Amino acid sequence: MKKLLFVLILIMALSFVSCTKSPDVSKSTDSTSENSTVNNSPKFNNQVSNNLMSDTAEKLGITHENYPKINGSTSTLAMARAINKAIYKYDENDHFPKIASKTVPSYKLLIEGEVDMILVPYASSDVLALAEDAGVELEFYPIAAEALVFITPKENKTENITMEQVRKIYLDYGITNWSNLGGPNRELVPICRNSDSGSQSQMDNLILKDKKMHSNIEKNYVELTMEGMLEQVAFYHNGGLDGEPTNSYALGYTLYTFLKSMGEVTGIDEQLKMLAFEGVLPTEESIGDGSYSLTDSYYAVVRSDLPKEHSARSIIDWLQSEDGKASIKELDFIPKR
């Protein structure tokens, strides 16, 4: 009887030990599963999926590997991003443009072969000379209408400016009071942009025509950013953040599309007035049909030695298609007719 009892106790003990070991086996299996998850981490999967191409890319023959290097002006950064969004399924892809190099630096990068395509206003005479000296021929493809516009604070009662007046202001510093333009008896303070900006290139091409701006304006009133030009013009007469109000209004210039897009973001356009030029107010209609005379374009620019089968040329074809024009229109750019 005692032997039987001993055998039963021994069986129970062995069963208990067996039960306590089984969780260890399960734990070991879970550990293997966790290691497998680490090797297929979400970060790795996301990196691959973020670079997936769209149906548009497939139609154009563009892959992640042959996506072109695109740069341009500050004012066309939104356009560069729209191109990227049309070609990729997700914004987090490796080629999504975060910054723009600005107009003249972008032209230099293109001339040096560092990028494949740039989105910019037309080149200034200095840039064209730089390309010629480097033995580089540039090809220009207009993709959106743009216009140089003159701006002043909304409170200013002046409504119009002429070519003769604006050249006298910026070339000779010859008009210093708004009363000479049919406005109030206040000092006219002309603001200008830095030489490598897109709006300055337009100013050089359309107004100054290769003549140098008056040195006093360049020395005292140079604004380095497009956003800064809008703010400087809007609030100069108030003396800025720390100064005292002055009996003046500023005059500045910018690009129509940029002013509109910044207005939607910051509301700065509510503080500014666009002046009519030679009696024509800049509007989408007057810019689109060319009746506003300071109209030019944004261009997709490539080197003439870029291979015909290059993906940058495929993107230019898309930009000039109805789908591309629709994407440009959604960004408040004015498509070329």
The per-residue pLDDT for range 88-110, each reduced to its tens digit, is 999 999 999 999 999 999 999 99
Burial class (CB in 10 A: 0-12, 13-18, 19+), 171: middle
262 and 151 in a common domain: yes
Q: What is the pLDDT of residue 28?
A: 33
278 and 161 in a common domain: yes
Query: In this model, does residue 42 exceed pLDDT 80?
Result: no
Q: What is the C-alpha to C-alpha distance for residues 143 and 326, in angstroms, rounded to an integer?
A: 11
Domain assignment present for 29: no
**Residues in the chain, total:** 337
Task: Report pLDDT digits (tens) over 25-37.
Answer: 333 333 333 333 3
Rounded to the nearest 10 degrees, the angle between the axes of helix 311-319 and helix 77-87 is: 110
110 and 74 in a common domain: yes
Range of the domain at 60: 52-145+296-335
Q: What is the CA radius of gyration of the chain?
A: 31
Domain assignment present for 219: yes
Strand, coil or helix: what is 69? coil
274 and 174 in a common domain: yes
The enclosing domain of 163 has a CATH number of 3.40.190.10
288 and 198 in a common domain: yes
205 and 177 in a common domain: yes
Domain assignment present for 31: no
Q: What is the C-alpha to C-alpha distance for residues 260 and 269, in angstroms, rounded to an integer?
A: 7
214 and 308 in a common domain: no
Task: With cut-offs at 50, 70 and 90, classify the pLDDT of residue 198.
Answer: confident
Task: Report pLDDT digits (tens) over 243-294.
Answer: 789 999 999 999 999 999 899 889 999 999 999 999 999 999 999 889 999 9
199 and 284 in a common domain: yes
Give the predicted TM-score (pTM) of the model: 0.75
Least-confidence region, from 56-65, 175-184, 254-263: 254-263
Domain assignment present for 9: no
Q: What is the C-alpha to C-alpha distance for residues 204 and 210, in angstroms, rounded to an integer?
A: 6
Domain assignment present for 166: yes
Q: Which two three-digit tokens encode residue 141?
A: 């493809």
266 and 159 in a common domain: yes
Counted domains in the chain: 2
